[in-house]
Amino acid sequence: MAEPKEKLEKMAKDAFETRLEGNELFKAGELQQALRKYHQVLLVLKGINWQSEPQKVVDSSEPLTEVDEDEAKEIEAAEGKGKEKEKTPAAAGDEDMGQQIKTALLNTYLNSAAIYIKQERWQRALESAKSAQKFDETNPKAKFREGQALIGLGQITAGKRLLEELQQVNPDSAVAAALNKLAQDEVQRSIKAKNELKGFLNRKPDAASSSSGSKEVGKTTASTTKDEGGATAAASSSSEPVKAGEADKSAVAASAAASMEASIDRSTAAETAGGEGQKK
């Protein structure tokens, strides 16, 4: 069963007031508290199905500040400080309630996106900016914040293109400033890349020298090993003749000893024979 229209209208008006409270917190720098208020607004207003034809609700010529002049006047009116009392959406009885709800949703998403950008929560900022465009697809604030979010997500080419297109259609100092900062960042990135490349190229000769040195050391080691091997081989080959000479000397000594023994035996035999002859 559908809610009575009066009840829905009261829910919507309460949400409008909550949105203004969120704006005050935003202006005071209480970003997280402001987000909580905006979440409450979205929860209520998205649940109200008010039959009304969609209309564009924000003048594209207004500056792309985070809380625009109209919203600032709404806050002042709510506080009773405005010189000219502006009618808040909840008090404008001659304005269609369905359109008031769409206006509140649009502005709530826009301010939510602005807070997410300040917090560098780029994906949430992108989602909020795109949600705002559901209520006004050509809204310059929504396009601007979408571009900022894309750049924050690293999609620099897409974000830059969107901001350039927006600046052509709706020139604004905030967009110009964002594009200028983007150009400066690109220059810095280019300088950094060149310096890194220069450092890399400067390191190459050192690496080659080190590699060459390693090769020379390798060659020297191999040569030394080779020389040592040759010396060892030479020593080994030279030791073999020495052993052969020693063998020859042993053979000669043995032969001389044998001859001496034979000579001694012959002398002994002769002496024995001579002695026997004298006895006879």
Q: How do the domains of the chain map onto residue ranges? A: 5-171, 179-230
Give pLDDT, residue 202: 83
Give pLDDT, residue 4: 76
Q: Hey, which of 96-105, 149-158, 217-226 has the most confident mean pLDDT?
A: 149-158
For domain 5-171, the CATH superfamily is Tetratricopeptide repeat domain (1.25.40.10)
Q: Hey, which of 8-17, 66-75, 270-279 has the most confident mean pLDDT?
A: 8-17
Counting other chains too, the contacts that 176-180 makes at CB distance below 8 Å and 24 or more residues apart are 178/144, 178/147, 178/148
Percent of the chain that is helix, strand, coil (3-state, to 5): 75, 0, 25
**Residue 132 binned pLDDT confidence (cut-offs 50, 70, 90):** very high
**Residue 51 binned pLDDT confidence (cut-offs 50, 70, 90):** low
Is residue 68 within 8 Å of 150, Cβ to Cβ? no
The answer to whether the predicted template modeling score (pTM) of the entire model surpasses 0.85 is: no
| pLDDT per residue as tens digits for the range 187-244 | 998 899 888 888 888 876 555 555 555 555 555 555 555 554 454 444 444 444 444 4
